[in-house]
């Protein structure tokens, strides 16, 4: 047994979050040295299933829908679910209640947030800045929002943002964590720079919420969006969320005014009057089945400090890098993820010439990560269910796979 194997066992023995693993549906780990079954390192794409969810969904389908039917909008709390579940997510992103609403996809919420930000910025500001390294959808939405609002779109890297800001800037759309490399961008400093220029800051939290503290209220973020199927474990296609800072809510003019965001939704009036508060971010009838599956999934967070999650995330990724350095032949992979904790999210990206084929073989051997073209192996570390023994065994299997 290697020194790293022994150390992994000791780290797992003192891990305060280790008990959370039992709250998820995961493959059983094998005791056989050559078998890595049960190592799931793709929570940055799709979180594992919380064990409470199937029973809750069955109740929603059989009793709430099957027996109560239309009565469930009131008796089962369907109507208030978007704000109620938003308030469960709020502490995980550093927001007070009443500022987060759940519903629609991340793409739709990016559109709402960005156009809403441009409208609040006013006519004198005719330029949008977008993260040039962004996940493609954010770029597509930003380009469409610029065309629709008559603004000029200017892609820049996060590092270039401070120098690109000016009195023409209306809003800036940035990713908190780079989806390819796992680089964590400086949300406090960049938000402050955007505000100093008189613009609004819109943040995409898809790869940070549930993995590290965000501090939306503390750092004065204007609007933010995020998905719930990665580190929040809400399930495939789970509804996303929209954050609008309380001080801006009365000015937030959504480009998608639906009957659910009307001040009097059942008044069926021809004229639109927006609701107050977070419900202003709603659009149409919420997807109740996915919404309530997400609500159940969020119960795994009860009593879990985000700070503890962050500490374990950094420890896991540190240990993985140490194991890779020890086991993998020198020069076979290159780490794209920053070593500095202040610049690292909760994933490790390794560049590898034959990355696609390597990941296929890793998955066949029980280590599930993912591949991003043309040459990136991504490994996501979800502290609620990934342990140090998983990390050590994954690095060993990676080394064996690389030959």
Which residues have a catalytic role annotated? Answer: 135, 204, 229-230, 378
β-strand pairing of 376-380 with 100-102: unpaired
CB 295 within 8 A of CB 85: yes
CB count in 10 Å sphere of residue 119: 18
Mind giving me the DSSP string for 345-363?
A: -SEEEEE-TTHHHHHHHHH
**For residue 84, what are its two tokens?**
């109620």
For helices 388-402 and 306-327, the axis angle rounded to 10 degrees is 30
Contacts of 59 (CB under 8 A, 6+ apart): none
- Using the Cα atoms of residue 234, residue 101, residue 281 and residue 218 in order, give the sign of their dihedral: negative
Closest CA to 56 of 238, 286, 292: 292
Other C-beta atoms within 10 Å of 352: how many? 20
Phi and psi dihedrals of 318, rounded to 5? -60, -45
What is the Cα gyration radius of the chain?
A: 22
**In 3-state terms, what secondary structure has residue 102?**
strand
Residues making up the chain, counted from first to last: 403
């Amino acid at each position: 047994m290697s020194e790293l194997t022994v150390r992994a066992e000791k780290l797992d023995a003192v891990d305060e979050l280790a008990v959370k693993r039992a709250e998820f549906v995961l493959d059983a780990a094998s005791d056989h040295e050559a078998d890595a079954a049960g190592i799931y390192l793709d929570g940055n794409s799709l979180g594992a299933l919380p064990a409470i969810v199937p029973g809750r969904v069955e109740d929603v389908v059989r009793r709430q829908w099957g027996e109560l039917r239309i009565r469930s909008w009131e008796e089962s709390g369907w109507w208030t679910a978007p704000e109620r579940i938003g308030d469960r997510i709020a502490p995980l992103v550093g927001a007070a209640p009443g500022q987060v609403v759940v519903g629609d996809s991340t793409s739709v919420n990016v559109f709402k947030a960005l156009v809403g930000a441009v409208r609040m910025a006013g006519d004198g500001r005719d330029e949008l800045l977008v993260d040039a390294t962004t996940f493609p959808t954010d770029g597509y939405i930003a380009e469409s929002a610029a065309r629709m609002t008559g603004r000029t779109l200017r892609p820049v890297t996060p590092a270039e943002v401070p120098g690109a800001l000016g009195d023409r800037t209306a809003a800036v759309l940035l990713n908190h964590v780079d989806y390819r490399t796992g680089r964590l961008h400086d949300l406090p400093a960049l938000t402050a720079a955007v505000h100093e220029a008189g613009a609004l800051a819109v943040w995409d939290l898809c790869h940070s919420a549930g993995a590290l503290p965000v501090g939306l209220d503390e750092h004065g973020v204007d609007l933010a969006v995020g998905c719930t199927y990665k580190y929040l474990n809400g399930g495939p296609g789970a509804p996303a969320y929209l954050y609008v800072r309380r001080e801006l809510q009365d000015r937030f003019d959504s480009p998608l005014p639906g009957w659910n965001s009307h001040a009097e939704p059942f008044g069926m009036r021809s004229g639109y009057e927006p609701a107050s508060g977070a419900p202003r971010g709603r659009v149409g009838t919420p997807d109740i089945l996915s919404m309530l599956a997400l609500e159940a999934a969020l119960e795994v967070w009860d009593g879990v400090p985000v700070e503890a999650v962050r500490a374990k995330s950094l420890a896991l990724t540190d240990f993985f890098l140490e194991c890779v350095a020890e086991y993998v032949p020198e020069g076979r992979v290159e780490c794209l993820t920053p070593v500095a904790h202040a610049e690292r999210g909760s994933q490790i990206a390794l560049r590898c010439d034959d990355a696609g084929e390597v990941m296929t073989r890793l998955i066949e051997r029980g280590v599930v990560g993912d591949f991003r073209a043309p040459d990136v192996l991504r490994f996501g570390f979800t502290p609620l269910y990934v342990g140090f023994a998983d990390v050590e065994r994954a690095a060993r299997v990676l080394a064996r796979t690389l030959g």
